[in-house]
Amino acid sequence: MHQQILPKIRLIDSTLRDGEQAPGVAFTLDEKLTIARMLDEMGIPELEVGTPAMGDDEIETIRRLVNLPLSAELICWCRANRNDLEAAQKTGIKRVHISFPVSEIQILSLRKSESWVIEELARLLEYAKGMFDFVSVGALDASRADIRFLQQFAKEAWLLGAQRLRIADTVGILNPMQTQSLIGKLTEVVPHLVLEFHGHNDLGMATANTLAAISGGARAVSVTVNGLGERAGNAALAEVVMGAKLTLHRDTGVKTSELYRVSFLVAGLARRRISEDKPIVGSDVFRHESGIHGKGLLADRRSFEPFNASEIGRPGTELVFGKHSGRAMIRYGLAKRGIEADDEETARVLEKVRRLASVYKRGLTLDEVQRIYIELQQQSDEDVMGDGPL
């Protein structure tokens, strides 16, 4: 029996478009060029690079990105109107994404109707196909749309020649089960149309929903570096790549060894701190304090780590000496400094480490642990000398 070979998942990185829409984030031209080059070098196949309708500066920036010698294909984002498409054409870009409202909330906010959406879809798709090599259609707020209308919209997009359909969870209200079901229902009516999922993280499920979409049949997904984006952000590049690899056994073609470096570069340019417990790239992800974990890791790193730190290009396991540490970690740390402590010495050091960690409310460094050992040894020597003859 032959094993089914699943197609590679296509990543569309939107750091330069949706990511920059995060409050207070504004990349300079040079920063955008740097980010684009790094994403290209790590194997991202497609970059969503901006919104031409923002004006001449944005058009010029996109034009500069288009002129870079990249392997990645570039696409820009447009609203459903001719002016946006004409602005996109000025950039020299060959791929365009057109976003249409599909939920009642979004349609009525524009004082339009479902019939208007279908009419505009036909009108603008025909117009865009004469201007660009590739046209993607977006279902804005698809997660709150009536499924009947969403299926009709998908079928029309396919029949009219759209080359990809983006299903946007615009306000991040889906859960993974709903996401997989939604993608499945759309796949039933447009089995040959490439579906892309674009998840927001308002309920903390963007990455999980993105993986669920892949399981449901989506062949493309949107991501941003560190999940940078509006409100609570988007599905995070590193999480989607590693999640797809480890839980779905699906290839994205990305050089995972570059994930850590790219995450910190973009965080710095965006002036956004990466939280210590950020999945995949956070500083605490490969730091361990618990005695049980430390003892297990010393025997086999796989015991409490899902993958090797080197896979994403980051420093390896770090043992932290603190309130929850055990004797094995203390003995291991001291041995790294050439100190062979016996059971009694180890216990005394551990007792003081735990006490100081509670006072300082942090873990202790190996230098501090070594200093504690030396101080305790000195105290012990003084006690012995004090017991001698006067």
For residue 156 the two structure tokens come to 């029309």
C-alpha–C-alpha distance, residues 35 and 22, integer Å: 16
**Mind listing the pLDDT tens digit for each residue in 46-67?**
999 999 999 999 999 999 999 9
CA atoms within 13 A on the CB side of 92: 9
Look up the pTM and report it. Answer: 0.84
> What's the pLDDT band for 374 if we cut at 50, 70, 90?
confident
**Residue 383 in contact with residue 351, Cβ under 8 Å?**
no
Cα separation, 348 vs 220, in Å, equals: 56
Please say whether the beta carbons of 256 and 311 come within 8 A.
yes
Q: Is 306 helix (H, G, I), strand (E, B) or coil?
A: coil
Q: Which of 75, 41, 84, 285 is nearest to 163 (CA)?
A: 75
The lowest-confidence range among 22-26, 91-95, 271-275, 371-375 is 371-375
Could you tell me the CA-to-CA distances from 372 to 60, 160, 321, 366, 375 in Å, in that order? 60, 73, 12, 10, 5
- Which of 113, 153, 119, 116 lies closest to 137, judged by CA? 153
Which domains, and CATH codes, for the chain?
10-270 (3.20.20.70), 287-386 (no CATH)
pLDDT tier at 158 (50, 70, 90 boundaries)? very high
pLDDT in tens, 160-194: 999 999 999 999 999 999 999 999 999 999 999 99
> CB under 8 Å, gap of 24 or more: what pairs does 3-6 form?
6/250
pLDDT, mean over the chain = 89
DSSP assignments along 211-245, one per residue: HHHHHHT--EEEEBGGG--STT-B-BHHHHHHHHH
